[in-house]
């Protein structure tokens, strides 16, 4: 186990580049990591992945050289604990709206007395090959803790959220943010874009890495890079398949004409 690998990526690179995974086949994670993505976002909020399938994705990603982060279904220590035992490099907490919620998220990732995490590391201590003393010395920092800001209240409270010790990064969820403003699906509405800019500006001022998921087009990517993005996630595997398969089909049909 390479404790703190994702943190080291942020310290050594100008931009960390990732993509999303939510299908069951861990070969997808192995392939995407092999292509060269720095980090894979393994989806547990909007997917039907179970914990065993999530484990396989984490193993595949890490074995192929990528970091693995898991977006949790909710900010609940009961849901957080079993995911941490699978030894992802990080976790994403959805719908963080207040500093108190951020504190709760961080506490779920730390052992007492600093937090409330229960002891039962399984893969996190390499199945017991790392003794408990050595494991506990780095365990609290092993998990890169990402808070997702995806509600107008989270934007309003971003400064206090960033003050919480243990918040390692912030990711913006622009769709639910737009929904909280009554704008869904118009995520590029100027009001929504202004909310996104507020989050990025606060993070840049505090030196906290901030990122977002984006379609792979130059206009969108340049907007977020100019805002100060330190990491970007592009597409789910279904998007890559759809775009590649559609492009090839249109190419061949064009030749037939």
Place of tokens 């980090």: 39
Asked if 236 and 19 count as a contact pair (C-beta separation under 8 A), the reply is yes
- Asked if the model's pLDDT at residue 11 lies above 90, the reply is no
- Asked if the model's pLDDT at residue 68 lies above 80, the reply is yes
**Total tally of structural domains belonging to the chain:** 1
- Asked if the model's pLDDT at residue 94 lies above 90, the reply is yes
Q: For residue range 147-199, list pLDDT tens digits in order.
A: 999 999 999 999 999 999 999 999 999 999 999 999 999 999 999 999 999 99
> Mean pLDDT, to the nearest integer, of 124-132?
95
Query: What Rg, from alpha-carbon coordinates, does the chain have?
Result: 19
- The residues annotated with a catalytic role in the active site are 46
Q: Decide: pTM greater than 0.85.
A: yes
What is the domain-level CATH number for residue 146? 3.20.20.60
Q: At 89, is the pLDDT very low, low, confident or very high (cuts 50, 70, 90)?
A: very high
Percent of the chain exceeding pLDDT 90 equals 94
- The beta-strand segments (E) located in the chain are 16-21, 39-43, 67-71, 90-93, 144-149, 169-172, 210-213, 231-236
Q: What is the pLDDT of residue 2?
A: 73
Q: What is the pLDDT of residue 236?
A: 97
| HEC readout, 158-213 | HHHHHCCCCCCEEEECHHHHHHHCCCCCCCCCHHHHHHHHHHHHHHHHHCCCEEEE
* 157: its two tokens: 């409270």
Q: At 257, is the pLDDT very low, low, confident or very high (cuts 50, 70, 90)?
A: confident
- Asked if the model's pLDDT at residue 1 lies above 80, the reply is no
Q: What is the pLDDT of residue 93?
A: 99
Q: For residue range 101-125, list pLDDT tens digits in order.
A: 999 999 999 999 999 999 999 999 9
- What does DSSP assign to residue 118? P
> Phi first, then psi: what are they for 122, rounded to 5°?
55, -110
Residue 217 structural domain: 5-256
Chain mean pLDDT for the chain: 96
The C-alpha torsion from 68 through 11 and 106 to 99, rounded to 10°, is -120
Q: For residue range 23-57, list pLDDT tens digits in order.
A: 999 999 999 999 999 999 999 999 999 999 999 99
């Amino acid at each position: 186990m390479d404790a703190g690998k994702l943190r080291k990526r942020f310290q050594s690179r100008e931009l960390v580049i990732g993509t999303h995974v939510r299908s069951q086949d861990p070969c997808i994670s192995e392939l995407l990591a092999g292509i060269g993505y720095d980090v894979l976002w393994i989806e547990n909020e909007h997917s039907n992945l179970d914990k065993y399938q999530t484990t396989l994705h984490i193993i595949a990603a890490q074995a192929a050289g990528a970091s693995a982060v898991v977006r949790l279904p909710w900010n609940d220590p009961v849901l957080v604990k079993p995911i941490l035992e699978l030894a992802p490099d990080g976790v994403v907490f959805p719908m963080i709206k207040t500093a108190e919620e951020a504190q709760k998220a961080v506490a779920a990732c730390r052992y007492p007395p600093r937090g409330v995490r229960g002891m039962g590391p399984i893969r996190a201590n390499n199945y017991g090959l790392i003794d408990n003393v050595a494991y506990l010395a780095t365990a609290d920092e092993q998990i890169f803790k990402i808070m997702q800001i995806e509600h107008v209240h989270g934007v309003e409270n971003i400064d206090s959220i960033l003050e919480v010790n243990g918040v390692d990064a912030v990711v913006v969820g622009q769709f639910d943010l737009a929904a909280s403003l009554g704008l869904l699906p118009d995520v590029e509405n100027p009001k929504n874009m202004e909310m996104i800019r507020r989050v990025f500006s606060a993070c840049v001022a505090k030196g906290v890495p901030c990122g977002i998921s984006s379609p792979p087009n130059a206009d969108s990517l340049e907007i977020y890079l100019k805002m100060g993005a330190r990491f970007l996630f592009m597409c789910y595997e279904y998007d890559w398949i759809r775009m590649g398969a559609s492009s090839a089909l249109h190419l061949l049909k064009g030749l037939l004409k």
